[in-house]
Amino acid sequence: MENFLKIVTECIDKFSKDTNIARHAAIIGGHAIILHGIPRTTLDVDVLLHYADTKEHPSEIVEKFVAFLKEQLEDLFEVEYFAASRDPFDPLKHDLIIITDPKKRFKKLDILIANYEWELEGLMSMASSDEGLLGSYPKPYLVGMKLMAGGAQDEEDIRNLFFIMTDVEKEKALEIAQLIKRDKNLSKMTSFMFLEARQRRIRRVQPCCGSNLSSGIFSNGSN
């Protein structure tokens, strides 16, 4: 799969160089979850891509990129392009490029075109989203995409991400959730973590002789 991703990444970079349009890209979806150290299976690789240009409309750049991909990969892979869905029940509404291997040597690769300012913010926050090998999308922004997708596996991914996120990352994830109006969903998915933390605190409290345990559970230790 790494060779397939490398081929596509080289095409992304070559188009950027040939057109003099800066690119920002990262691995998202299940593969990004794995790269963050969480065991998981996935059927394909998903890439989030943004080409920054103030002169052309984003859809025009995407169409040119699709034509470029077809030209570069025509002997090896099939390239399909789907414009962003206008279906109100489609949660993400990204332009989508699907690259498949007719010989079934590789899993399919999906390229989603960034469609929201917070998605671009996530790309820009990465150390190197503008050239070379693709890195995994930052955890708080992955949570945002998973919240919008809203599937059962997405919820499981969010819970697993929260186990390894720092407090700063969790705060950013909540900020994104509020922005996309999914903060209640996020609170519901992660409430078990706060319950477990409370239970651990309770287990650590050892009652002293004659003390009132219930009155000391949430005390700060001062009298």
Among the CATH numbers 3.30.470.10, 3.30.460.10, 3.40.50.2030, 3.20.20.70, which is that of 1-137?
A: 3.30.460.10
| Residue 125, both tokens | 């926050």
Burial pattern 68-101, b for ≥16 Cβ within 10 A else e, equals bbeebbeeebebebeebeeeeeebeebbbbebbe
Higher pLDDT, 173 or 205: 173
Paired strand residues for 25: 49
CA distances (Å), 98 to each of 10, 16, 17, 206, in order? Answer: 16, 19, 22, 58
Distance CA 41, CA 212 (A): 49
Helix, coil or strand: residue 214: helix
Q: Does 194 have pLDDT greater than 70?
A: no
pLDDT attached to residue 109: 95
Give per-residue pLDDT as tens, 18-44.
Answer: 999 999 999 999 999 999 999 998 878
Please state the rounded mean pLDDT for residues 157-180. Answer: 94
For residue 52, name the pLDDT band (cuts at 50, 70, 90): confident
CA nearest to 167, candidates 196, 137, 194: 194
Question: Per residue in 20-55, is it b (16+ CB within 10 Å) or e — as a string?
Answer: ebebbbbbbbbbbbeebebeeeeebbbbbbbbbeee
Q: Which pLDDT tens digit goes with each residue over 199-211? A: 555 555 555 444 4
Average pLDDT, the chain: 85
Other C-beta atoms lying within 10 Å of the C-beta of residue 175: 13
Q: What is the DSSP string of 138-190?
A: PHHHHHHHHHHH--HHHHHHHHHHHHH--HHHHHHHHHHHHHTT-HHHHHHHH
What are the residue boundaries of the structural domains of the chain, listed by start? 1-137, 138-204
Sign, CA dihedral 85-64-25-169, equals negative
Confidence of residue 91 (pLDDT cuts 50, 70, 90): low
Q: What is the pLDDT of residue 207?
A: 52
pLDDT for position 192: 67
